């Protein structure tokens, strides 16, 4: 469907410049905060005005903008966009009793601010859109890119997913039951039998097109479902495998979005039990934390694994070794309701 | 089609207001306490949130006005289309919606939850833009692709495009497309901080225009493929669409209107039409200094002779993320009834462009309508609907 030629990621781990996934960065105050780079190439005046999501999104896009002669569009998925600016503006409304307010936070708070900023930085006047359907925001962005490439063969798109943690959003999500009440080390995430996960954030940006040559990886299929029904999910996975993975081809790695939340574990367990025996399973939420577009981090990770041809040890669940991974099946679940499967193959 | 706006709670009521020139913008705001209730006119939907809950038989906790407006418009559309529950919940039926406000219409609740001033309101999972379509998905047990787009004021033009693309690319057999936004203290103060709200009823394309009025509304349309329409009621064909970016400024358009020019040009190209074939332009026409002048310049750049054009925001106010879908319904009404609706209160043309919008209701042959939606972040989209 589409080929990934460049992949950049700002995350709570060392994923941006010198990638090192051996040394684990731990949560602080129950949050896995992104390690932000110095953002070379973004003028300081512009950088200062950016909210965190915009900064991470623009920062992870910069290398792609620099490396690519011409982009034919910018397609971003984000669950919340600039929530911090949003509440900052809201707090101003209350604090100044709807007086004369500075509009900066308001403008930065709209979900399309990342795509808009990247568009302005790259002077890109072509297709520009922002998908915000919570746990399916990145998946819809991915499908959008596939469709744009069908429509305009030979084009290059910047595709990405980005979300930030702010104190405000943390408070709301925490009230909603999204996060664990106890402080834990990220390596213990999967051992806890409690509701909620660790809050996470990050930006993953990709240059995608329809050219197989020199690609890092290929995304062959995406499928989504809204459901709380285990049987419906199982049926979808069976269909997905029979449609997209020919008999005889091995799933070299099942990349699981297991989040340490005991309310959603059953979905991951059910999927794993439908896979061929001895399918290796790796998990990633101890690296990224949980957020609406964490699947974009997982796609970056799949690209990294394809390039390295090995899986960082701290990700493996179980003794099965992964040898020369070529086919990776990603399953992610957001809040027990939004499911997605993404099939990634080495080119 | 289904629509709810300040000029009516149904397609028929909206149509009647457009034909009779009835403006829905009033100085009677009463949705929530805000100091601007006294100072500014708004295009408020004439049904309270409590009455919406009652009328729609909604008893679930945590459902916002935004979701209720969406459900109201969706219900009308479903009834109009006669879509069976089985078709609605089929995995081949996609829902592509749009919103910029989502549950942020509950500004005071959001403030309290975000700043830990409560133990959690019933709305903690209802603030984001996705909450509306999450609710519609659950309400109708939908199993196809569900999406929400937020490209500011062009959001629902893009959700219409996205739905059409899903069908074209085999991801859906049919697509429910549209958008919604409700009035929020958040957007009122945001637009006010940008000094683009008019203290009078807006006058799009007028030399003395003073800004926009905020409105609210929702609209949904059912898209089906040409091969599936035999024996069904068909209102119009979506023949062209294009999304382009102005890449100039976060909250205003470039002087020459590159984004608007490119989106209009791209939509024509996709429809295979020459500029001269467009019968009517449903302009974005918000009534702001910047938009109306730039949109006019872009029209002058693209069209040798600018077709008849008008802005219905003089009726409804600017319904933000709903505008593209609400005005898609209005564009289609023009095609069905072979008529165009005037820009209310227009007096004098902008001197630098000299363009005069349609000033009174009239019957005329309408073959192709172009509908523009431009938003913050330079997000410009144009759609073309054609007579069938």
Q: What's the pLDDT at B250? A: 87
What are the backbone angles phi and psi of residue A87, rounded to the nearest 5°? Answer: -75, -30
Under DSSP, is residue A17 helix (H, G, I), strand (E, B) or coil?
coil
User: Could you report the per-residue pLDDT of B175-205, keeping only the tens digit for each?
Assistant: 999 999 999 999 999 999 999 999 999 999 9
Residues of B in contact with A112 (CB under 8 A): 150-152, 375-377, 379
CA dihedral B17, B22, B25, B27 (to 10 degrees): -130
Query: Is B155 in contact with B324 (CB distance < 8 Å)?
Result: yes
User: Could you report the per-residue pLDDT of B72-120, keeping only the tens digit for each?
Assistant: 999 999 999 999 999 999 999 999 999 999 998 898 899 999 999 888 9
Domains belonging to chain A, first-starting first, are 2-209 (3.40.47.10), 218-346 (3.40.47.10)
Cross-chain residue pair A97–B35, CB shorter than 8 Å: yes
What string of DSSP letters covers B233-271? ----EEEEEEEEE--S-SSS--TT-HHHHHHHHHHHHHH
Tokens encoding B327: 């005005």
Q: What's the pLDDT at B26? A: 97
Cross-chain residue pair B145–A132, CB shorter than 8 Å: no
C-alpha B161, offset from chain centre: 13
Query: Is B322 in contact with B152 (CB distance < 8 Å)?
Result: no
Cα distance between residue B40 and residue A60, in whole Å: 42
Query: Is A345 in contact with A252 (CB distance < 8 Å)?
Result: no
Cross-chain residue pair A128–B194, CB shorter than 8 Å: no
Query: Is B292 in contact with B285 (CB distance < 8 Å)?
Result: yes
**What distance in Å separates residue B237's CA from the closest CA in chain A?**
19
Tokens encoding A306: 């394809």
* Cβ within 8 Å of B, A 307-326: none
User: Would an 8 Å CB–CB cutoff place B261 in contact with chain A?
Assistant: no
CATH number of the domain located at residue range(s) B2-228 in this protein: 3.40.47.10
What are the backbone angles phi and psi of residue B239, rounded to the nearest 5°? Answer: -105, -25
Cα distance between residue A223 and residue A232, in whole Å: 13
Q: What's the pLDDT at A334? A: 98
Cross-chain residue pair B186–A93, CB shorter than 8 Å: yes
Q: What is the mean pLDDT of chain B?
A: 97
Cross-chain residue pair A125–B194, CB shorter than 8 Å: no
Q: How many other β-carbons are positioned within 10 Å of the β-carbon of residue B78?
A: 19
Instruction: Provide the whole-model pTM.
Output: 0.98
Cross-chain residue pair B379–A91, CB shorter than 8 Å: no
Q: What's the pLDDT at B242? A: 98
Q: What's the pLDDT at B107? A: 87
User: Would an 8 Å CB–CB cutoff place B198 in contact with chain A?
Assistant: no
Pairing label, strands B280-282, B308-310: parallel
Contacts of A60 (CB under 8 A, 6+ apart): A8, A9, A10, A16, A160, A162, A203, A204, A205
Percent of chain B with pLDDT over 70: 100
User: Would an 8 Å CB–CB cutoff place B130 in contact with chain A?
Assistant: yes
Cα distance between residue B135 and residue B127, in whole Å: 12
Q: How many other β-carbons are positioned within 10 Å of the β-carbon of residue A167?
A: 15
Q: Which residue has the tokens 């011409």?
A: A70
A172 CB-side CA count, 13 A: 24
Contacts of B365 (CB under 8 A, 6+ apart): B279, B338
Q: What's the pLDDT at B108? A: 86
What are the backbone angles phi and psi of residue A146, rounded to the nearest 5°? Answer: -60, -45
**What distance in Å separates residue A98's CA from the closest CA in chain B?**
7
Q: Which among B34, B138, B143 is the nearest to A98, CB-wise?
A: B34
**Residue ranges of the domains in chain B?**
2-228, 237-386
Beta strands in chain B (DSSP E): 2-5, 93-98, 146-149, 174-181, 217-224, 237-245, 280-282, 308-310, 339-340, 362-363, 368-374, 379-386
What are the backbone angles phi and psi of residue A38, rounded to the nearest 5°? Answer: -80, -10
Helix (H) or strand (E) holding A73: strand A73-77
* Cβ within 8 Å of B, A 70-99: 74, 79-81, 86-87, 89-91, 93-94, 97-98
User: Which ipTM value was assigned to this complex?
Assistant: 0.97
Query: Is B259 in contact with B284 (CB distance < 8 Å)?
Result: no
Q: Is there a shared CATH topology between the B2-228 domain and the B237-386 domain?
A: yes
User: Could you report the per-residue pLDDT of B287-323, keeping only the tens digit for each?
Assistant: 999 999 999 999 999 999 999 999 999 999 999 999 9
Name residues of chain A where pLDDT drops below 50.
Answer: none
b/e code A262-299 from CB counts within 10 Å (16+ = b)? eebbebbeebbeebeeebbbbbbbbbbbbbbbbbbbbb
Query: What pLDDT band is residue B274 in, cutting at 50, 70 and 90?
Result: very high
Query: Is A219 in contact with A299 (CB distance < 8 Å)?
Result: yes
Cα distance between residue A257 and residue A236, in whole Å: 17
Cα distance between residue B166 and residue B175, in whole Å: 8
Helix (H) or strand (E) holding A301: helix A294-308
Cα distance between residue B356 and residue B366, in whole Å: 18
Q: What's the pLDDT at A40? A: 87
**What distance in Å separates residue B72's CA from the closest CA in chain A?**
21
Closest CA to B353 of B209, B234, B214: B209
User: Would an 8 Å CB–CB cutoff place B376 in contact with chain A?
Assistant: yes
Q: Which among B151, B162, B192 is the nearest to A112, CB-wise?
A: B151
* Cβ within 8 Å of A, B 31-70: 34-36
Q: What's the pLDDT at A108? A: 87
Cα distance between residue B318 and residue B376, in whole Å: 13
Closest CA to A195 of A178, A207, A174: A178
User: Would an 8 Å CB–CB cutoff place B89 in contact with chain A?
Assistant: no
Cross-chain residue pair A143–B145, CB shorter than 8 Å: yes
SS3 string, A143-164, reads HHHHHHHHHCCCCEEEEEEEEC
Residues of A in contact with B168 (CB under 8 A): 147, 151
Q: Which CATH architecture has domain B237-386?
A: 3-Layer(aba) Sandwich (3.40)
User: Could you report the per-residue pLDDT of A101-128, keeping only the tens digit for each?
Assistant: 999 889 888 899 999 999 999 999 999 9
Interface test with B, best of A133, A179, A210, A341 (most B CBs within 10 A): A133
A308 CB-side CA count, 13 A: 14
Residues of A in contact with B115 (CB under 8 A): 87, 91, 168, 171
What string of DSSP letters covers A185-229? -GGGTTT--BS-B-B--EEEEEEEES--TT-SEEEEEEEEEE-S-
Q: What's the pLDDT at A318? A: 86
Query: Is B6 in contact with B324 (CB distance < 8 Å)?
Result: no
Cα distance between residue A207 and residue A212, in whole Å: 13
* Cβ within 8 Å of A, B 316-335: none
Residues of A in contact with B162 (CB under 8 A): 129, 140, 144
Cα distance between residue B72 and residue A102, in whole Å: 35
Q: How many other β-carbons are positioned within 10 Å of the β-carbon of residue B341?
A: 26
B264-270 average pLDDT score:
98
Cα distance between residue A204 and residue A140, in whole Å: 15
Q: What's the pLDDT at B237? A: 98
């Amino acid at each position: 469907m589409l080929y990934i030629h460049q992949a950049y990621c700002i995350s709570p781990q060392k994923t941006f410049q010198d990638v090192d996934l051996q040394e684990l960065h731990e949560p602080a105050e129950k949050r896995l905060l992104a390690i932000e780079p110095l953002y070379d190439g973004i003028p300081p005046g512009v950088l200062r005005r950016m909210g965190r999501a915009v900064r991470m999104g623009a920062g992870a896009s910069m290398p792609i903008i620099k490396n690519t002669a011409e982009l034919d569009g910018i397609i971003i998925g984000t669950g919340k966009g600039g929530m911090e600016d949003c509440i900052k503006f809201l707090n101003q409304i209350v604090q100044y009793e709807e007086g004369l307010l500075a509009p900066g936070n308001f403008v930065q708070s709209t979900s399309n601010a990342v795509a808009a900023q990247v568009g302005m930085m790259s002077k890109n006047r072509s297709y520009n859109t922002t998908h915000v359907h919570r746990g399916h925001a990145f998946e819809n962005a991915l499908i959008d890119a596939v469709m744009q490439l069908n429509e305009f063969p030979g084009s290059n798109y910047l595709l990405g997913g980005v979300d930030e943690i702010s104190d405000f959003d943390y408070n709301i999500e925490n009230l909603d039951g999204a996060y664990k009440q106890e402080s834990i080390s990220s390596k213990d995430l999967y051992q806890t039998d409690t509701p909620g996960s660790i809050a996470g954030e990050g930006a993953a940006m990709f240059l995608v097109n329809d050219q197989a040559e020199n690609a890092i990886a290929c995304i062959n299929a995406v499928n989504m479902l809204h459901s709380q029904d285990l049987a419906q999910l199982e049926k979808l996975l069976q269909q997905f495998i029979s449609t997209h993975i020919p008999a005889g081809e091995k799933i070299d790695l099942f990349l699981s979005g297991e989040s340490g939340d005991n309310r959603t574990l059953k979905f991951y367990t059910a999927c794993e039990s439908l896979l061929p025996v001895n399918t290796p399973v790796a998990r990633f939420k101890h690296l990224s934390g949980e957020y609406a577009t964490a699947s974009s981090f997982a796609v970056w990770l799949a690209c990294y694994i394809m390039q390295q041809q090995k899986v960082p040890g701290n990700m493996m669940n179980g003794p099965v070794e992964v040898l020369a991974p070529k086919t990776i099946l990603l399953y992610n679940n957001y809040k027990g309701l939004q499911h997605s499967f993404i099939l990634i193959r080495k080119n | 089609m289904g629509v709810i706006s300040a000029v009516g709670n149904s397609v028929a009521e909206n149509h009647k207001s457009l034909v009779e020139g009835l403006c829905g913008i009033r100085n009677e705001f009463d949705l929530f306490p805000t100091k601007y209730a006294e100072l500014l006119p708004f295009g408020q939907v004439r049904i309270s949130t409590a009455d919406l809950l009652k009328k729609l038989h909604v008893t679930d906790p945590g459902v916002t006005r935004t979701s209720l407006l969406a459900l109201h418009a969706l219900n009308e559309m479903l009834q109009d289309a006669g879509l069976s529950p089985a078709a609605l919940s089929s995995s081949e039926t996609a829902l592509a919606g749009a919103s910029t406000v989502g549950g942020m219409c509950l500004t005071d609740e959001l403030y309290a939850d975000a700043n830990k001033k409560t133990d959690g309101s019933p709305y903690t999972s209802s603030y984001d833009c996705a909450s509306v379509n999450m609710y519609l998905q659950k309400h109708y047990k939908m199993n196809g692709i569900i999406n929400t787009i937020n490209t500011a004021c062009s959001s629902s033009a893009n959700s219409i495009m996205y739905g059409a693309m899903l069908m074209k690319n085999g991801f859906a057999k049919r697509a429910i497309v549209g958008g919604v936004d409700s009035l929020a203290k958040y957007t009122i103060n945001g637009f006010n901080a940008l000094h683009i709200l008019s203290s009078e009823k807006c006058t799009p394309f007028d030399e003395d225009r003073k800004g926009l009025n905020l409105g609210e509304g929702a609209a949904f349309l059912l898209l089906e493929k040409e091969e599936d329409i035999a024996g069904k009621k068909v209102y119009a064909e979506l023949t062209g669409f294009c999304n382009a970016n102005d890449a100039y400024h976060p909250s205003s358009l470039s002087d020459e209107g590159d984004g608007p020019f490119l989106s209009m040009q791209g939509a024509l190209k996709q429809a295979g039409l020459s500029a001269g074939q467009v019968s009517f332009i449903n302009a974005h026409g918000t009534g702001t200094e910047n938009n109306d002048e730039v949109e006019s310049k872009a029209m002058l750049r693209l069209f040798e002779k600018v077709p008849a054009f008008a802005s219905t925001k003089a009726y409804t106010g600017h319904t933000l993320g709903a505008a593209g879908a609400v005005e898609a319904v209005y564009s289609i009404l023009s095609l069905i009834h072979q008529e165009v609706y005037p820009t209310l209160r227009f007096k004098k043309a902008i001197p630098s462009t000299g363009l005069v919008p349609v000033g009174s209701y009239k019957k005329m042959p309408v073959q192709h309508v172009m509908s523009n939606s431009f938003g913050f972040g330079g997000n410009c989209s144009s759609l073309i609907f054609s007579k069938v």
